[in-house]
Structure 1
Amino acid sequence: MPILLAIEKDSASFHVYDRRVGDSLLSFRIPADQDLLVDENTNSSWTMDGLCFDGVLKEKDWRRSSLIMNFGIHGATFTKPER
Structure 2
Amino acid sequence: MKESVYEVSSSVETIVSFSQQQVQNIGQTSSQSQEVAAIAEETSVGAEEVNAVIKEQLYLMKEVSNVAKYLAEQAEQLKFTIQRFKL
TM range (shorter): under 0.3
Structure number with greater CO (CA < 8 Å, separation at least 6) is 1
TM-score (norm. length: structure 1)? 0.13
Q: TM-score, normalised by structure 2?
A: 0.12
Bigger Cα Rg? 2
> Which protein has the bigger helix share?
2
